[in-house]
């Protein structure tokens, strides 16, 4: 199994921390976020790792990673960046990781073991972390609904209460070629501007709505975090 790290965006909410470097090179506890991800992926047994670059791609060179480049990184969103790695996604199963998160090898291993076409990790104990980060967890929370059999029923909408959030989507996924083919099919039905601006949770919701491919939801209770702002760095000290 291969892995793809999505690192094309600048991360403008990090303010001056990303003026001279991509977001994945911001340091947490003395180590770049990218190195946290690489360590977890390699500890899980993944050898072949690619990175989708965009902003300041030259700073991500010579790291032993396969590069897929999104030349339109400034005007497109994450799913368009992921599509730059179509060569890998169409041929075999791939772990896909956001570049602004950290997690342990166990999160990766749990995804690798699931046989379904599409799977995402989530934190069932999300409320404490989101309260620490935002005060009011609903300021940033999105819906995350589960079916009794453990597949995803809803993701990425604005919740009215914490009861609508059964877990926190982490930004760590696994696609099989079948799962990726469904994403490609859905994207082809969208207008170009819609496709360009599609977020990952938006495309996952469209997969759910289409009903052709189930998305397994894999709980993870180990240490992890999302770094979306300079203030977030203080949350994980």
pLDDT reported for residue 14? 80
Task: Give me the domains of the chain, ranges plus CATH numbers.
Answer: 2-235 (3.90.550.10)
Task: Look at residue 231 and tell me whether its pLDDT is greater than 90.
Answer: no
CB 82 within 8 A of CB 89: yes
Query: pTM for this one?
Result: 0.96
- Give ∠ CA 151-167-41 in degrees, rounded to 5: 80
pLDDT: is 232 or 6 the higher one?
6
> How far apart, in whole angstroms, are the C-alpha atoms of residue 104 and residue 122?
13
Mean pLDDT of 33-37: 97
8-state DSSP, 218: E
CB 6 within 8 A of CB 78: yes
Mean pLDDT of 107-129: 95
Question: Could you report the per-residue pLDDT of 57-107, keeping only the tens digit for each?
Answer: 999 999 999 999 999 999 999 999 999 999 999 999 999 999 999 999 999
Mean pLDDT of 209-232: 94
Q: Is 45 strand, coil or helix?
A: coil
């Amino acid at each position: 199994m291969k892995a793809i790290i999505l690192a094309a965006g600048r991360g403008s909410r990090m303010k001056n921390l990303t003026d001279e470097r991509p977001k994945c090179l911001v340091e947490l506890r003395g180590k770049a976020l990218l190195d946290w991800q690489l360590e977890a992926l390699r500890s899980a047994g993944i050898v072949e790792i690619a990175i989708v670059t965009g902003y300041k791609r030259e700073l991500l060179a010579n790291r032993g990673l396969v590069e897929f480049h999104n030349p339109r990184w400034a005007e497109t969103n994450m799913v368009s960046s992921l599509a730059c790695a179509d060569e890998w996604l169409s041929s075999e199963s791939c772990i896909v990781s956001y570049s602004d998160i950290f997690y342990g090898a166990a999160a990766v291993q749990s995804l690798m073991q699931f046989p379904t076409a599409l799977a995402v990790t989530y934190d069932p104990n999300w409320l404490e972390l989101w309260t620490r980060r935002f005060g009011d967890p609903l300021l940033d929370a999105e819906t995350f609904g589960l079916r009794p059999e453990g597949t995803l029923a809803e993701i990425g909408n604005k919740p009215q209460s914490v009861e609508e959030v059964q877990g926190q989507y982490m930004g760590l996924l696994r696609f099989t070629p079948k799962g990726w083919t469904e994403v490609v099919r859905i994207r082809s039905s969208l207008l170009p501007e819609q496709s360009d601006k599609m977020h990952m949770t938006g495309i996952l919701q469209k997969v759910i709505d289409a009903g052709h491919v189930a998305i397994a939801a894999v709980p993870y209770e180990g240490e992890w975090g999302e770094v979306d702002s300079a203030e977030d760095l203080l949350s994980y000290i």
